Structure 1
Amino acid sequence: MISIEAHLARLSLKGDQQAFAEIVSLYQEKLYHMAYRMLGNRQEAEDVVQDTFLRIHKNLDRYDEKLKFSTWIYRIATNLCIDRLRKRKPSYSLDAQPTDHEGLDGYSMIPSDNRTPESEVLLSETQQIIHQAMATLPVKYKTVMVLRYLQEMSLQEIGDVLGMPVTTVKTRVHRGREFLRKKLERVL
């Protein structure tokens, strides 16, 4: 039995525009949040999502129905994010302010039921520090950390998306956590 996405991909290949619109509807928001978390910039995240869907539409005939559609689409989006991150000049300032203030930083902590104005300020400052620390991660660690902790993918899913063995994913997650721990120890 084929997945809904694979069925929609087949219909899209036959020219069914509504089927492709359904694929976009299924993944647009998820891909945006993943891209935003990796890039930290609303416009770049929107561009990545648009580029992802353009590539999917252009290459639907290459989709292998034996693989999960979500793995294929996340691999495309993740690779586009990685390309953008590699083209950037590194910025390691911990004093930098977030460039986007829409509340979609993706590093939100789970809110408690007993928030006070003081706890809100502390939570906001902590989120900002974590956001800044994540922004300084090397690309190879940032990618796995975003997919693991913000997209909540399993190690196997991350390996499938990035085309690497699970052992490599585990190593990068471990090193990414260590990198963050060291950064946060200095700040917190």
Structure 2
Amino acid sequence: MNEKEIVEQINKGDIEAFRLLVDKYKDRVFSCAYKFTGDYLEAQDLSQEIFLKIYRNIKSFNNQSKLSTWIYRVSTNMCIDWKRKNQKKLDLIINNFSGNTEISDNILPETDIIQKEDRNGIRSKIESLPNIYKETLILYHFYEMSYKDISKELKISEKTVDTRLYRGRRLLREHLNKYSYGGEIYGL
């Protein structure tokens, strides 16, 4: 089946045609998602969301460009949206840990590079935390879950959630205090 036939079959509800499309483009979509997320599991989730969007919006594909170009555009746009959404959350976490409540829109290029390095350092340090703290921090800060929801999800008490958040933040601060940026200790 060529691209036009695949699109026509998908528009008629042919799931097998959509499976062919997924098989053909899954590596490219995943690669795009992984470049943005830097995380294998997150990239898998994002790839699934991308294919859902493709399935829901395939009717808008008008054959004026190649199907691969349209899929790449959908993938890139969703990855950019994911990055914006998660970057804001990460910025808030960084600022909460550092006590800085202002996020400036007028950032110098050098400052932007340093902040990106800081965020990457924080992200890697979160990943290095023991699982009980890492998962609690991620659920609370990235997924914006309440103590009650985290409690249900992890099958622990709300007090345990509070304790794990406190200890996880403390460990993260200790890890980050070991880094030095621009002659200053990165303190939280």
- Which structure's residues are more often helix, by fraction? 2
Which structure is richer in relative contact order (CA contacts within 8 A, separation 6 or more)?
1
Relative to the length of structure 2, the TM-score reads 0.46
Give the TM-score normalised by structure 1.
Answer: 0.46
